[in-house]
Amino acid sequence: MSLITELQTKRDQYATDARAILDTATAENRDLSAAESRDFDELTGNLAGVRQRIDQYTTADTENRAAAETLTRMVGPGGASFGGSSAEDREVVDGLRSMLLENNAKPITLTDDSPRAQYQPGVERRDLLKTAPANFTPVSFYGQIIEAMVDASAVLSAGATVLTTKTGETFRVPRATAMSTAALVAEAAAIPESDPTLGVVELGAYKYGVLVQVSRELVDDSGADLQSYLARETGTALGLALGAHLINGTGTGQPRGVLADATLGVTGPVGTATSLGAQATAGMGTDLLNALYASVSEPYTRSRAAGYLLRGATLAAVRNLKGTTGELVGNAYLAAAPAPFHVDAFVPAMAADAKSILFGDWSRYFVRVVNGVRFERDDSVGFVNDLVTYRALIRADAALVDVSAIKYLANGAS
């Protein structure tokens, strides 16, 4: 018997008992006795409470069905059920709901090793394990957290390669600093030797964490909506913290940001210290963006993850570029640009010698994540204020494994 059916049975019984008391008094042409009044008041109170609970559960059920129908239209029937259909998925989802709605402090580790995420061009995940854990659908709680992280970090949304490992010891990624070259060889002539020059990029594991406190009332009353709220809050917070280092990290005590290893593509001339200069002047305006694009070799520009990265104010400067007659040239350029533009607030602003615009193949930037996201609940920290505390933690590192893949535009010195 479902919970709603059980509540409906109680409702009907309370209504029947209360009506019987009134019918008895009416048949005897008298008012209710003191005992009957107490019983009647108790039954009507119980009836009102049960009706309220039925309304709450019915509303939640209707909203869940509507959400499922919306997801079906968006991602198809296979992705409409929350958390996937495998036994492992259901076990994690049940544990998550138990944590959110009950006093269950058991940690939950959320992982996703699908070959490619739903983001386009998306975060590419490479599985480094012999056995793959649960494979969540795009609407899983983990997927919601990662989606919020991607929204908060343009490096991830641009197409960075994400490596997921089970443990956090140093992980070494081979890097070719010089490639082998082939040559035209005559018949019976010696084939020249050409060995690649190999280096190593070491990826560690730096811990990022966030605490979110919510009232007991929100936990008790919100039901499944709390899951989306927590995924959005924790994912955005983790994405912003990690995203800052994915751009500007030094590699010492934090991930190595892309600016640490990206190479110079083009330098702005005099007059571009804080802008792209005058569109009507050769070598300025969109000429600089085209020169940056051309500074990256063709194999990288053909990648699905090829794109520009800049902050919002710089993108506005591109959009506002004007021709000699005042017409907006920037908007037309963005509409026909050879690669997409991604906006990240952590890219330096345009200033003298600033690395304000990046372009290249973002799949050559590797982000290492250790064992997914760990999600936990604690009821003791906010006990005095009747608050429930949730925390999310992720261990990650990052580095550019191919320094030729991404280049930057440096604003002019004056």
Which residues are within 8 A (CB) of 305 and not within 5 positions of it... i.e. 6 or more apart? 121, 124, 158, 159, 160, 361, 362, 363
Mean pLDDT value across the chain: 81
Can you tell me the distance from the alpha carbon of 218 to that of 229, in angstroms, rounded to the nearest whole number? 11
Main-chain dihedrals φ then ψ at residue 299, nearest 5 degrees: -55, -30
Range of weakest confidence among 28-32, 178-182, 269-273, 286-290: 178-182
Can you tell me the distance from the alpha carbon of 333 to that of 337, in angstroms, rounded to the nearest whole number? 6
The predicted model gives 45-66 an average pLDDT of 74
Q: pLDDT band for position 160 (50/70/90)?
A: very high
The predicted model gives 378-393 an average pLDDT of 88
DSSP conformation class of 314: H
The predicted model gives 166-179 an average pLDDT of 81
Please, how many CA atoms are within 13 Å of residue 324, restricted to the half-sphere of its CB? 3
Q: Which of 133, 209, 200 lies closest to 170 in space, CA to CA?
A: 200
Q: Are strands 365-378 and 161-165 parallel, antiparallel or unpaired?
A: parallel
Q: pLDDT band for position 166 (50/70/90)?
A: confident
Can you tell me the distance from the alpha carbon of 373 to that of 140, in angstroms, rounded to the nearest whole number? 13
Tens of pLDDT, residue by residue over 213-271, are 988 888 777 655 677 788 888 888 999 999 999 999 999 999 999 999 999 999 999 99
Can you tell me the distance from the alpha carbon of 385 to that of 216, in angstroms, rounded to the nearest whole number? 9
pLDDT at 292 over 90: yes
Torsion of CA 84, 86, 88, 92, to 10 degrees: 30
Q: Which residues pair with 9 in a beta bridge?
A: none
Distance of CA 405 to the CA centre of its chain: 24
Can you tell me the distance from the alpha carbon of 366 to that of 389, in angstroms, rounded to the nearest whole number? 32
Q: Which residues pair with 395 in a beta bridge?
A: 207, 370
Distance of CA 87 to the CA centre of its chain: 25
Which residues are within 8 A (CB) of 374 and not within 5 positions of it... i.e. 6 or more apart? 107, 108, 109, 110, 392, 393, 394
Amino acid at 46: N
The predicted model gives 55-79 an average pLDDT of 55
Amino acid at 219: V
pLDDT at 114 over 70: no
